[in-house]
């Protein structure tokens, strides 16, 4: 309890007690002097290797995403079954093509019917069916190894 009168007995005892207490910086130095650094070992959960084999169907003259963005994907193979397709890493690029028309210089990559495309990057892959008259099946094989 603080006395309202400076110099009183309570005020003097509080001053003496305050002088006996070490400064905050001194206490912090004493507390950390006995602390040992302990290494923390963390181990990320790594997915097991897996594979996905699927058949996607592109509607007549339509676009579709064959592969999503995937940082863990090691390799993928794309094989158009029924007709040639045009592939790109952007939906806007494949939609710049006109299905059914003669496409001398397609926007994106021309992938003939039955020819495999091996993908080793992690970007998405989009495709468009080129005939404009019939749907096209596309075989997609994705293999993902456990990350290192």
Please name which of 50, 49, 53 lies closest in space to residue 141, comparing C-alpha atoms. 53
Please name which of 68, 45, 54, 47 lies closest in space to residue 122, comparing C-alpha atoms. 68
Report the pLDDT value the prediction gives residue 141, as an integer from 0 to 100: 95
Q: Are 90 and 121 in contact (CB under 8 A)?
A: no
Residues 6 or more apart from 10 whose CB is under 8 A from it? 1, 2, 3
Domains of the chain: 50-144 (2.60.120.770)
Per-residue model confidence as pLDDT tens for the chain (148 residues): 555 555 555 566 666 666 666 555 555 555 555 656 556 655 655 566 788 999 999 999 999 999 999 998 999 999 999 999 999 999 999 999 888 776 677 889 999 999 999 999 999 999 999 998 999 999 999 998 765 5
Distance, in Å, from the CA atom of 19 to the CA atom of 15, rounded to the nearest integer, reads 6
- For residue 127, the cross-strand partners are 64, 87
Distance, in Å, from the CA atom of 125 to the CA atom of 78, rounded to the nearest integer, reads 10
Report the pLDDT value the prediction gives residue 62, as an integer from 0 to 100: 92
Distance, in Å, from the CA atom of 28 to the CA atom of 30, rounded to the nearest integer, reads 5
- Spatial strand order of the sheet with 73-80 comes to 50-58, 136-144, 73-80, 117-119
Tell me the whole-structure pTM to 2 decimals.
Answer: 0.65
């Amino acid at each position: 309890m603080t006395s309202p009168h400076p110099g009183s007995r309570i005020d003097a005892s509080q001053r003496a007690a305050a002088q006996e207490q070490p400064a905050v910086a001194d206490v912090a130095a004493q507390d950390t002097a006995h602390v040992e650094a302990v290494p923390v070992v963390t181990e990320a959960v790594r997915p097991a290797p897996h594979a996905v084999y699927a058949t996607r169907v592109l509607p007549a003259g339509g676009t579709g995403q064959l592969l999503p963005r995937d940082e863990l994907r090691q390799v993928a193979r794309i094989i158009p079954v029924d007709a040639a397709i045009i592939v790109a890493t952007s939906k806007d690029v494949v939609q710049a093509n006109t299905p059914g028309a003669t496409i001398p210089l397609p926007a994106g990559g021309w992938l003939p019917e039955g020819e495999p495309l091996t993908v080793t990057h992690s970007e998405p892959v989009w495709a468009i069916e080129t005939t404009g008259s019939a749907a096209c099946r596309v075989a997609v094989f994705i293999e993902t190894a456990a990350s290192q």
